[in-house]
Structures are given as structure tokens and as C-alpha cells.
Chains A and B, each alone.
Chain A
Amino acid sequence: MSVVIGFLFMAAVYLMLSKSLIRIIIGTGLLSHGAHLLLLTMGGLGGISPPVVADGVSVSDYADPLPQALILTAIVISFAVTSFFLVLAYRSYQELGTDNMDLLRGTEDHE
């Protein structure tokens, strides 16, 4: 699991360092996936019983439900932000005519 998370973070950083806006957006998506998986892993994996207190079920039998609730929240938020980012990218491509970050520097020569 840690290897997958590390790979996701690595791929995200690589994509976010590129010039094309759409690659950057995919990179941010991967970055938040990595963070969510990290949250899941840190809560502790393992256990097959449903997290309901019953006879004969001890705490070690089920996975911690709290990180799953947290991830759900985080996924919804990152979904909203990613869709906003995509719309913003499309709109700025229409207005500014480019998706190359080099041309979006905003110094005095590029208005």
C-alpha cells in the first residue's frame, strides 16, 4: 500500500511539474488519490467483520471506520475542486488562448 501511495505522489509531482494545464489537473487528481489512500492506510488495514459492536467481535476484528468517513468527505471535496479546476481551465483556454503555463506567467510582457 505504501508503495502505491508513494508511486501516486511521485506521478502527481511529475505531472504537476509539466507545462500543460490538463496534465497538471490530472496530477492534482492523483495527488489527492494518494492522500486519500494514505488516510486509509494510516487508519490500519485488516479485519473483515462489519464495525458493529456485537458478541464475540473485538476491536481488532474490524477495520477502523473513522478514516473511511474522513476519506468520503475528502473525496467529495476533491471531486468538487477538480471539476471546478477543469471548468476554469476550459474557460481560461477560451479567454487566454493557451494552456501552456510558460505563457501564463503574468509578467509585464505577457498580458
Chain B
Amino acid sequence: MSNLLLFPIIIPLFFATVLMIFPKRLKLQRFLAATGAAATLIAALVLLAKVNAEGVQAVTLGSWPAPFGISMVSDPLSALLVVTTSIITLFVVFYSFPTIGVKREQSFYYPAVLFLMVGVNGAFTTGDIFNLFVFVEVLLMASYTLIVHGGEKPQLRESIKYLLVNIISSALFVAAVAFLYSVTGTLNMADLAVKIPQIEETGILTVIAVMFLVVFGFKAAIFPLYFWLPGSYYSPPVPILALFGALLTKVGVYAIMRTYTLFFTMNITFTHELLGIIAILTILAGCVGALAYFDVKKIIIYNIIIAVGVILFGIAQLNQPGVDGSIFYLLHDMLIKAALFFLVGIVAVLFGTTDLRKMGGLIKTYPFLGWTYLVAAFGLAGIPPLSGFPGKLLIVQGGFEGPQFWGSIVILATSLIVLLSAVRIFIYAFWGEPVETVPLKKSVFNQMFIPTVILVAITVVFGVGAELFMPFISGAGEVLLNPSIYIDAVLKE
């Protein structure tokens, strides 16, 4: 029993609440938002160290015995994700200072960011399926605020659709939880993992598993439920886009990872094969989008969809390399997507447009920016020794060891498309005839560029030092593959 794992949820909640009291005090807002995010990061790192040293941490609220109270569980996977979330939120806060605009900053922007952090950290930590729904609603509510924040016409138009899609998926979530409860009589994830193998009617559970796949698929943007994502993510400003692209879909991915390894394992030949096929289709659909557009934001947005497919394919294999690879790739993808959105944000500010055809020759004026982007793009495509490589290697290996070896071939082939789509931005924006850029103060540029460089540097360290991080990753993979560790930690409290 340790209350430590609640801190990454409570700290941002506290800071967000305090920040709502004085929206107009700009400096104080910035300072407290950064402090809140940094404090959360420290708490998350301490938590990770503790989980690594002492195994899975669990706390059941209100001191009820485990299946009756609401359990919060921090296993290595959720601790790693909480750390990554905190890093990204901290950098987004820093990146927001020069980019988001004073008017937005003064109307509850930072509280919304921190509330989003509450929801995401909570969703990663919870051990109760209905509590997962509640935390998902918390983060969705914050994301509704952020997506419409500023009230520009395209934002209003797209947020209606975003809201509608998410309301429908939430209603389906409640319905799916209702069915699961009526069949198993429990909502605690560890207890579900105990009860589900005892039920002989696997048919109805398979239906429920697929319902949950649909629900989480809406959030994770899998094929064919990704249709809302490109339009909705396109409209808000870049820092919000980076936050959404790095965190929101990953909550859906995490939920699929958790449910499909912990308790929906009664009919693997059907559910996991379905997941594998959908993952491959998701990758292909993302590739088509990534190549089709001449808009820097759209290209990176479609790359989110590709990454979701790659991660889920690793999970669908349900063997050790596949799952380890998925976890590694998930962390890599969160960091690299935030970094790439930061970079294209800077590029878009410099040219005053997001259309690639109106850009060119930036390498002459901003050489350092260009090379940083190239490193990030290579990292995204998974060129060794950068961070995309080890994860993808393990996922592909998992695919070859499992029944769906053809999926690994697709992943290898689409890596080239990912590289092409990312390098195309480099070629158009940094090479070619110089186009006149918007004059930008050196200090403003540095304020945007320094967090970006640090984030890219983190991804490089994550890739080059993969050996260093592997014990954490394989520890997380071990818990996913042996649900008994998770169950024991929760129910023996």
C-alpha cells in the first residue's frame, strides 16, 4: 500500500485548480503551470524508481479490500507512461509560452492542459474499468476545452465533430461496461482477470471484447474508426496539437494493450487475429494519408495513425518480443510525435503557412533547425541507432515468430513510406529555392527551439541508450505477459 502512485494525478489537479483562480496573472500562470508539470514529473520518476525496485504498486481507495474498492495500480508499463506523459506536458507548457498567444494564456489555457494531464495519468494508473471511463471523460472534457480554445471558425466547426464522435464512443463505453458487469459481476481489472477464465461461455465474452475494441478504437484512431482524427487534430494551434497527438490516442492504445493482455485472452485466435489485421489496415490507411497531402501538419497527423497500427500489431502477437517492442515503440512514439509537431510548428510559423509547396530553402537561414528536423524524421522512420529502431525491430521479430508474418513484411515496407513522408517535408521546406520567411525575433525563436531540441535529444538518448532502458521495458512486458503478477499485486493488498 503506497499512496505515492496517486501523486502524478493529484499534483496537476491541485495546480490546475489553483490556476483557475487568477486567469489574468500571466507570469504567475506560466510559473505555476511549469512548476506543476515539473513537480508531477518528479513524482512520476520517484514512482518509476519505486515500481522498478519493489514491483507492482497498488492502492485501493477508501481502504476497502481489493475487488470492492476502486483500485489504482502502477505496474512498470503505467509508470513508464506516466513519466513520458509528464515529460511531454512539461515541454508543451514551455513551448506554449511563445506560441499560444497571450489571449489564450489568459483564458484558462494552462488549467486545461493540467486537467488533461490529470486525466491521462489517471487513465494510465487506474485498475478499475469504470474508473478508466471516468478518467477518460476527465481527459476528454479537458480536450474539448483545448480543441475549441480560442474559438476560431475552423476550431468551432471541427470541435463539433470531435465532440459528437467522443460522446458516441463514451455511450458505447458505458454499454460495454454494462455487458461486462452483467456477465462477470465485477469491474476491477485484476478481479476480471480471475473471473473471466472461469466463465465457460466464451462467445459472449468475445463479443464484449470486440465492443471494447470498438470503444477504445475510437480513441486510438484505428481503422476504420480514424476518420475523425485528421480533421479534428488539424484545427487547434500547434502546442495543443502536439499534446493531443502525443497523448490522447495513446490512452486508447494503452487501454487496448491492458484489456487485451490482462483479461480478454479467452479466445486469442479470434480477437488477437482481428486486432492484428486491423492494425495492418490502420498502417496502410495512415500511409495513404501521409503521402496524399502537401500540408506539414496533415502529414505528421497521418503518421500518428501509422504508429498506432504498428504498436497494436506488436500487441496482437502476444509474444515477448512483440509486446516489448510495442511498449518501446509506444514510448518512442509519444516523444517523437511531440518533437515533430514542435518542429513543424516552428517551420509553419517561419513560413506563415503549412503548405509545403509554398516553402523552401530554410537550411540556409536556419541550418540547425534543419538538421534537428532530419534527426527527428530519421528517428520516426526507425533508422538505427535512433529511437524508432529497437521498438520496430522487436515488433517485426514478434510478427515473424507469430502466425502473422505477413504483417511484419507490411511494417517493414511501410517504414520506407514513413521515411518518405517525413523526408518530403525536409526536402520541400529546407532544400530548394529560398522563400521569404516571416521575420522572427531571435529570442522568440530560441524560446520555441530550445524545448524542441531538448525533446529531440531525449529521443536520441532513448534510441542510442536503448540497452539502458531495456530492463524497464522488459519488466513492463513481463507483467503484461504474466497477468498473475498484476493480479497478485492488486488482490493481495
Contact = CB atoms under 8 A, between A and B. Distances in A.
B181 A96 contact: no
B231 interface: yes
B171 interface: yes
A35 B137 contact: no
A47 to B, nearest CB: 15
A32 B170 CA distance: 8
A50 interface: no
Contact of A106 (B140, B144, B157, B175): B157
B471 interface: no
Contacts of A104: 157, 160-161
Interface stretch (B13-21, B147-155, B387-395): B147-155
A14 interface: no
Contacts of B416: none
A67 B164 contact: no
Contact of B171 (A24, A32, A70, A91): A32
B175 A67 contact: no
Contacts of A42: 178-179, 181-182
Interface string A35-48: 11011011110000
Contact residues of A: prevailing secondary structure: helix
A11 interface: no
Nearest to A111: B153
B163 A35 contact: no
Contact of A24 (B130, B157, B164): B164
B363 interface: no
B178 A39 contact: yes
Contact of B160 (A16, A39, A92, A111): A92
Contact of B141 (A80, A88, A91): A80
A96 B94 CA distance: 33
Contact residues of B: prevailing secondary structure: helix
Given A28-B168, A106-B157, A36 B174 contact: yes
Contacts of A67: 178, 181
A85 interface: yes
Contacts of B159: 88
Contacts of A80: 141
B157 A92 contact: yes
Interface in A3-44: 16, 21, 24, 28, 31-32, 34-36, 38-39, 41-44
Q: Which of B144, B163, B179, B231 has the most CB of A within 10 A?
A: B163
Interface string B155-187: 011111101100110111011011101100001
Interface in B24-83: none
Contacts of B137: 77, 81
B168 A31 contact: yes
Contact of B153 (A28, A36, A43, A96): A96
Nearest to A41: B178
B167 A96 contact: no
B171 A31 contact: yes
Contact of B164 (A28, A35, A44): A28
B134 interface: yes
B103 to A, nearest CB: 16
A38 B153 contact: no
A39 B179 CA distance: 8
Contacts of B130: 70, 73
A93 B144 CA distance: 17
A81 B164 contact: no
A31 B163 CA distance: 14
A28 B166 CA distance: 10
A74 B154 CA distance: 30
Given A35-B171, A35-B175, A91-B151, A44 B157 contact: no
Contacts of B174: 32, 35-36, 38-39, 74
A95 interface: yes
B151 A106 contact: no
A63 interface: no
A106 B164 contact: no
Contacts of B171: 28, 31-32, 34-35, 78
A100 to B, nearest CB: 12
B178 A88 contact: no
Nearest to A30: B171
Given A70-B130, A91-B151, A104-B157, A85 B167 contact: yes
A104 B168 CA distance: 19
B375 to A, nearest CB: 34
Nearest to B130: A70
A11 to B, nearest CB: 13
A38 B175 contact: yes
Interface string B125-146: 0000010011001001100100
Interface of B: 130, 133-134, 137, 140-141, 144, 148, 151, 153-154, 156-161, 163-164, 167-168, 170-172, 174-175, 177-179, 181-182, 187, 231
7 contacts: A41-B178, A70-B181, A78-B170, A92-B156, A92-B157, A96-B157, A104-B160
CB-CB nearest 7 A-B residue pairs: A42-B182, A92-B156, A35-B174, A42-B178, A39-B178, A35-B171, A31-B171
Given A38-B174, A81-B167, 19 more contacts: A24-B164, A32-B167, A32-B170, A34-B171, A35-B171, A38-B178, A39-B181, A70-B130, A70-B177, A77-B134, A78-B171, A84-B144, A88-B160, A91-B151, A91-B156, A95-B151, A95-B156, A96-B153, A106-B157
